[in-house]
Amino acid sequence: MIGAIAARDWLAAFRTPVGWVLLAATQAILGYVLLKVLDAFTGPEPALRTAGLNLELTHNLYGTAAVVLLLVVPLLAARSLGGELRDGTWALLAGAPIPLASILLGKLAALALLLLPLCLLPLALGLLLLGAAPVDPGMLLAASFGLWLTGVLFGAVGLFAASLTAQPIAAAVAAYALLVLLSVVNRAQALGAPQLGVLDWIAWSQHLFWFLAGVVRLSDIVYFVGLTACFLALAHRRLENARLD
């Protein structure tokens, strides 16, 4: 049943221009970023700078892709769940003999599948340089995996925000607020609170950084999976309470 719901939502994204426009726009943006990175490694004595090519590729390509996901995933989540709440189709779906958890997992799976090609675009661009530059495929694969985990977390946050209101725009704004908070929460340490080291762990960017450096740590995977499950559980509780009301 989870697969059926995921396939339904995934196909809905590509029956309209939404999915295709998103892919095309992301490709154009990342292509421009790639050209800017390569421009810094051309000119006299480029070999002196090739040692940092892989880091520049991951931090620029994948960093830009993470910003794109931050902007678009809340809108996709609001469209997936908030749109059904607004249009009244959620009552039919929630009234079906399907566990609420399966519905939410199906919608998150659809978002994860939709984000997969977006996360593979930087990898494809980086692999185009194989044979012409000392590109590290393993480092790019690690960065792609971290970017995808980040996007799935954004999707869970977006679904939780969409469960709070039937208005997709309001849901997207709430998701942006939560994601911005998760982005800058570690800055509190720079404001004179170094004892609150846990805030550095909460920020998603601190965990994505290790993937961009080519390091896949179990603690970072646990962070993304655990926080994704947490927001999905919050969405489940909110929708369950609304159904009981």
In one-letter notation, the amino acid at residue 121 is: L
Instruction: Return the pLDDT at 165.
Output: 83
Residue 237 has pLDDT above 70, yes or no: yes
Structural domain range at position 225: 2-244
Neighbours of 39 (CB within 10 A): 9
pLDDT recorded at residue 48 = 45
E strand segments, 38-152: none
Quote the pTM value.
0.87
pLDDT at 175: 92
185-232: per-residue pLDDT in tens?
766 555 454 544 666 778 888 899 999 988 899 999 999 999 999 999
Paired strand residues for 133: 130
Supply the pLDDT for residue 94. Answer: 65
pLDDT in tens, 45-102: 554 455 577 888 888 899 999 999 999 998 888 888 877 777 667 766 766 777 888 8
Q: Which residue has the higher pLDDT, 185 or 180?
A: 180
Confidence of residue 244 (pLDDT cuts 50, 70, 90): low
For residue 189, with 0-12 CB atoms within 10 Å meaning exposed, 13-18 middle and 19 or more buried, which class applies? Answer: middle
Number of domains in the chain: 1
Average of per-residue pLDDT values in the chain: 82
10 and 79 Cβ atoms separated by less than 8 Å: no
State how far the alpha carbon of 228 is from the alpha carbons of 40, 180, 192, in Å.
Answer: 37, 16, 29
Q: Are 111 and 76 in contact (CB under 8 A)?
A: yes
State the pLDDT at residue 47. Answer: 46
